[in-house]
């Protein structure tokens, strides 16, 4: 059974640009959550998508958005990039119904210059 796959693994962008990250969950999992990991702030919840709907949202500005497709793959988008957006972005896959375990992808390392 394939694990959680995130693409790309690394990205370098310039301030003001936008970026799209992708996450393919474990087969059969319908929930995808996104997290930002930085040395200073740790692991912070961005949002969760379940069955193509945003079900939970963290305290991030509107520049951070996401969506989920009918095959449960999810994308997150960050517009008007700032230097402070440099981080490891992780997604976590879960069934979203009852079973609580969440499994992480290997992450996308975003560097904003």
The contact set with other proteins (CB under 8 A) reads 31-33, 35, 42-45, 48, 50, 55-56, 58, 90, 92, 94-107
Give the nearer residue to other proteins in terms of CB position, either 32 or 78: 32
Q: Minimum distance from CB of 34 to other proteins (Å)?
A: 10
Give the nearer residue to other proteins in terms of CB position, either 29 or 81: 29
- Cβ atoms of 21 and 5 within 8 Å: the answer is no
Give the nearer residue to other proteins in terms of CB position, either 65 or 79: 65
Write a three-state SS string for the chain.
CCCCEEECCEEEECCCCCEEEEEECCCCCCEEEEEEEECCCEEEEEEEEECCEEEEECCCCCCEEEEECCCCCEEEEECCCCHHHCEEEEEEEECCCCCCCCEECCCEEEEEC
Q: Minimum distance from CB of 16 to other proteins (Å)?
A: 29
Give the nearer residue to other proteins in terms of CB position, either 30 or 79: 30
Q: Minimum distance from CB of 32 to other proteins (Å)?
A: 7
């Amino acid at each position: 059974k394939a694990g959680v796959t995130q693409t790309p693994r690394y990205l370098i962008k310039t301030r003001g640009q936008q970026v799209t990250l992708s996450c393919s969950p474990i087969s059969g999992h319908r929930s995808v959550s996104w997290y930002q990991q930085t040395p200073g702030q740790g692991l912070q919840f961005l949002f969760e998508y379940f069955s193509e709907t945003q079900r939970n949202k963290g305290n991030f500005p509107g520049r951070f958005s996401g969506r989920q497709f009918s095959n449960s793959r999810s994308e997150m988008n960050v517009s008007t990039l700032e230097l402070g957006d440099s981080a490891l972005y992780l997604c976590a896959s879960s069934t979203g119904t009852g079973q609580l375990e969440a499994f992480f992808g290997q992450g996308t390392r975003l560097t904003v210059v």
